[in-house]
Chain A
Amino acid sequence: MSQPKTKKETEDLLELYRQMLLIRRFEEASAKAYSMGKIGGFCHLYIGQEAVGVGAISALEQKDYIVSTYRDHGHALARGLEPKALMAELFGKKTGIVSGNGGSMHFFDKSKNFMGGHGIVGGHISLAAGIAYASKYRGDGAVTLCFFGEGAANIGSFHEGMNLAAIWKLPLVMICENNHYAMGTPEYRALSVKDVSVRAVAYDIARDHIEGDEVRKVREHVRVAVERARRGEGPTLMEISTYRFRGHSMSDPAKYRTKEELEKYKQGDPLIKAEKDLLAAGWAQEELTKMDEIILKTVEESVDFAEKSEEPPLGWLYKHVYAENV
């Protein structure tokens, strides 16, 4: 995609860059807190994939829905969920986005139609089809965006969800964030196809495939799929190729890939690309540095907030096992 030309385009890129930078800094802080033992459980970082989440989610309206995976920090921040509440959730505090019940893999925010981070690989795909089903049932015009990794493209729920979405023409956009490794298994050892989106052909639905290193390009392509869904023309299966710079989770040293490979992909860091484009469009380096400082401060405040927040009271243990019948 070409560099931004007008002031409006440049400001637009700047906002997308800001969101990507927030994700990057938030996750760097998460990694640090994890290493210090402040965050428990699994912690799957999104570093390197920011352009996918930010680009895709910026193509949505407020009424649209997002269904995410266990790697949900980036999607949540891109949707505008509060960094403080997310960090507090990672710390397992009562001020967390789900009161310490979910942790890293289970961010939910109903007020933002953020329909959860889900921990079973691919299990959430049919849930996303269900949310899209409800939109069709009610005719509310909303579109559901579902993220998943290429590892999920081999599970039954993916195929069943695609078939159901196809036969019912559901307003669903399925985005395979292909980061080339399902935990430690490279795609060529697990996938029967090189490009997950070709599986759309078998379900007779629309498909698209792009590289996910340019945030505005991602948005442009996702927008086409979202509009198609909104027109009632059914689902799209997209593969957006990307790369995670960290291991599968914080406990993974990622020894299954070479340093050379990692370095090669780091050349395509979506933040560096966006930064270069902004500088080329005449934006001052100092302005970007200042933006980074503000973001760092926001992230520091979220860590401080999480640190100082109380743990959930023990009396909450049984709260929410069952919903009240009112």
Chain B
Amino acid sequence: MAVLTYREALNRAMTEEMEKDPNIFLMGEEVGHYEGAYKVSQGMLAKFGERRVIDTPISENGFAGVGIGAAMVGLRPIIEFMTWNFSLVAIDQIINSAAKMNYMSAGQFPIPIVFRGAGGAGGRLAAQHSQSFESWYAHIPGLKVLAPYTPSDAYGLLKTSIRDNNPTIFIESEVLYGSKGEVPEGEFLIPMGKSDIKREGTQLTIISWSRALMYVLPAAEKLAKEGISVEVLDLRSIRPLDEEGILASVRKTNKALIVEEGWNVAGFGAQVAYLIQKEAFDYLDSPIERITQEDVPMPYAANLEKSSLPSEEKIIKKVREMIK
């Protein structure tokens, strides 16, 4: 089994798919000559040429729209946002055009497009470059939302997204690009709507995704040493949501904690909590809890940034309270 970085896994997924299907192209700021602001498209311009790896000017609304228009006539664009923070100027196109086109046209114009790029918090990038938008996009019918944590999941889910006939919001984590993990040899796909148990446990389920697992998994490890057995469920796929997977785990452990990097109010964790109380209320031994980013724009100061995010300490403290 090969050990790849998260960025290499994404690169491999795109390269393999583009080799197979001439309708796929990659478009975005700095994806070509610069080989990606985060080097995700390294080597792709040399391999596929300027026709299929296309540098754009800084105009997210414009090139998101270009991708959607191209998808209307059967091409399969991969649109890279340098970061998801910049997607906000394209959000009209994503919501009003991409998500609704198939519905408004009664199935005449499916939009097979992937919007991908770096998301999430951290790195002292401050308020405008450090935020999570999974909840925003998950709100919209017509979109699919993925947020992988491991290189293997990144590879398998990106391939699935590229082959999907719907607009997919593929949120990579800025701080995970260099992280390494085993990626099986040969081609494989990971279906959407399937969560993954990253750690088995019996006393409490932590439901999380993407970079927040960086805090969750070590916390679970430490808790295990105290004799507290935590199950860690990585959603990977925010929409569609693996409702059965969540419920099965909570019915087993009888306690649920949701950890997310996004904000609390109207955050996606609230939807997960609603699902659990509705479908597994009788199995719960304690209230469902959430740990999220604090309800503030991201501060720059290192200590404030750290204190605003979920952390191992916060998770351990919360789990201890819930287990009592």
**Chain A interface (Cβ < 8 Å from any Cβ of B):** 65, 67, 98-99, 101-102, 106, 108-110, 115-116, 118-120, 123-135, 137-138, 156-157, 160-161, 163-164, 167, 319-326
Contacts and interface: CB of A to CB of B under 8 A. Distances in A.
5 contacts: A102-B104, A109-B108, A110-B108, A126-B65, A134-B69
Best-buried of A125, A167, A323 by chain B (most CB within 10 Å): A323
A120 B97 CA distance: 9
Contacts of A134: 69-70, 72-75
A161 B65 contact: yes
A225 to B, nearest CB: 19
Contacts of B105: 98, 101-102, 106, 108, 110, 116, 320
B62 A164 contact: yes
A324 B102 CA distance: 11
Interface of B: 25, 51, 56-57, 59, 61-75, 89, 92-93, 96-97, 101-112, 141-142, 144, 163-166
B104 A108 contact: yes
B64 A126 contact: yes
A108 B105 CA distance: 6
Contacts of A163: 57, 59, 62
A322 B66 contact: no
Best-buried of A101, A160, A167 by chain B (most CB within 10 Å): A160
Contacts, number: 146
Given A123-B93, A320-B107, A324-B165, A128 B69 contact: yes
Contacts of B101: 116
Given A156-B89, A164-B59, A101 B66 contact: no
Contacts of A326: 165
A102 B163 CA distance: 27
A127 B166 contact: no
Given A123-B93, A321-B142, A322-B142, A106 B61 contact: no
Nearest to B240: A322
A65 B74 CA distance: 14
Contact of B107 (A124, A127, A319, A325): A319
Contacts of A99: 106
Contacts of B64: 126
A322 B104 contact: no
Contact of A131 (B61, B70, B108): B70
A61 to B, nearest CB: 15
Given A101-B104, A106-B104, A163-B57, A157 B62 contact: yes
A125 B65 contact: yes
Given A67-B69, A101-B106, 15 more contacts: A115-B109, A116-B109, A126-B68, A127-B65, A129-B69, A130-B65, A133-B69, A137-B70, A160-B61, A160-B63, A321-B103, A322-B102, A322-B166, A324-B165, A325-B163
B69 A131 contact: yes
A65 B73 contact: yes
Given A123-B96, A137-B51, A116 B104 contact: yes
B89 A108 contact: no
